[in-house]
Amino acid sequence: MDMPPAAEIAGAEHLHSGKVRDLYRLADGSLLMIASDRISAYDFVLSTPIPDKGEILTRMSLWWFDQLADLVPNHVVSTDVPDSVPPALRGHAVVCEALAMYPVECVARGYLTGSGLADYRATGEVCGVPLPAGLVDGSRLDAPIFTPATKAALGDHDENVSYEAVEHEVGAERAAELRELTLAVYARAEGIARGRGILLADTKLEFGARSDGTTVLGDEVLTPDSSRFWPADRWEPGRPQPSYDKQFVRDWLTSPASGWDRSEGTPPPPLPDEIVERTRAKYVEAYERLTGESF
């Protein structure tokens, strides 16, 4: 996958670029994390950015970290970033702790959709958790479930795995802690979102360990890139739900208008201005509805 080059930042060593974030090490050993305006779909990073997306995701994560602070510590050290960070990126950046990240995506699902729905249709289970018969796309589960996944290389899909696979990876005690924390974060966030007219269908969290073994919530949290948010007043099980994310991008890419054939493996075409603007508006709306702040 071709990635745009990360910004050169004086005094910071570029470590890694993911689909959206660029990570740097600062002289004191802390990390500088910058959320770009890149957007990905169907395992491609698209050539067209979404203006302000990185700043919206950063602000939203910071807001959620505050809402969750009594449940689990987070990796944010400071929002005062080095002077060498270009002014256009300052709202996209945070200084955070360097953690030993656990090699597992911690996913909580309160509703059945996406890869969980595909697993359920094939086996009646999601990640080894048996579910009742007769569920459909968008069904609310009796209780939220922990459905972990492996972390995939850039350009690959994360793969859903069983709880036993997590125990094998990090040990029984740590696996139990990750499951408990993931479900606690989901429960808190689901209640907050529902109070604002939004359903949190599922979310993906990443945790790491401090040198003393404390488990810390890292990366981003509860943004439209890592979570499915649905308007509560339009929820209707049995069909795909409208959502606060890159739905406009996916829909356009798979429409005849794009001229793109996903099966050929070629990169998607640039996005039209209208799709860019509608996608940006969705991110802004999600931020404003959830936080009560204006962007």
Q: Which residue has the tokens 């795995």?
A: 161
Q: Does some domain include residue 150?
A: yes
> What is the C-alpha radius of gyration for the chain, rounded to an integer number of angstroms?
19
Percent of the chain with pLDDT over 90: 89
Alpha-helical runs (H) found in 236-292? 247-253, 273-291
Q: Does some domain include residue 25?
A: no
CA angle 190, 194, 198 (to 5 degrees): 100
What value does the mean pLDDT take over residues 220-239? 96
Per DSSP, 208 falls in state E
- Determine which helix (DSSP H) or strand (DSSP E) holds 122, and give its type and residue range: helix 114-123
pLDDT at 155 over 60: no
Q: Does some domain include residue 172?
A: yes
Contacts of 157 (CB under 8 A, 6+ apart): 43
pLDDT at 1: 52
pLDDT at 219: 93
Place 119 in a pLDDT band, splitting at 50, 70 and 90: very high
pLDDT at 151: 77
Chain mean position to CA 7: 22
What value does the mean pLDDT take over residues 168-184? 97
Residue among 283, 276, 205, 185 at smallest CA distance from 243: 283
pLDDT at 248: 86
Q: Does some domain include residue 209?
A: yes
Q: Which residue has the tokens 């039209």?
A: 272
The dihedrals phi and psi of 145, each to the nearest 5 degrees, come to: -125, 150
* Tally: H helices and E strands in the chain: 6, 16
Place 176 in a pLDDT band, splitting at 50, 70 and 90: very high
The dihedrals phi and psi of 291, each to the nearest 5 degrees, come to: -90, -20
pLDDT at 154 over 60: no
Q: Which residue has the tokens 């359920």?
A: 120
Q: Does some domain include residue 108?
A: yes
Q: Which two tokens stand for residue 189?
A: 């966030």
Q: Which residue has the tokens 């939004």?
A: 198
| Cβ neighbours, 10 Å, residue 153 | 7
Domain extent at residue 140: 100-234
CA atoms in the 13 A half-sphere facing the CB of 277:
3
Place 98 in a pLDDT band, splitting at 50, 70 and 90: very high
Q: Does some domain include residue 106?
A: yes
Q: Does some domain include residue 286?
A: no
Q: Does some domain include residue 18?
A: no
User: How many Å apart are CA 74 and CA 123, to the nearest integer?
Assistant: 36
Give the CATH number, domain containing residue 144.
3.30.470.20
Q: SS3 for 47?
A: coil
Structural domains counted in the chain:
1
Q: Which two tokens stand for residue 214?
A: 């404390």
Q: Which two tokens stand for residue 281?
A: 């508006």
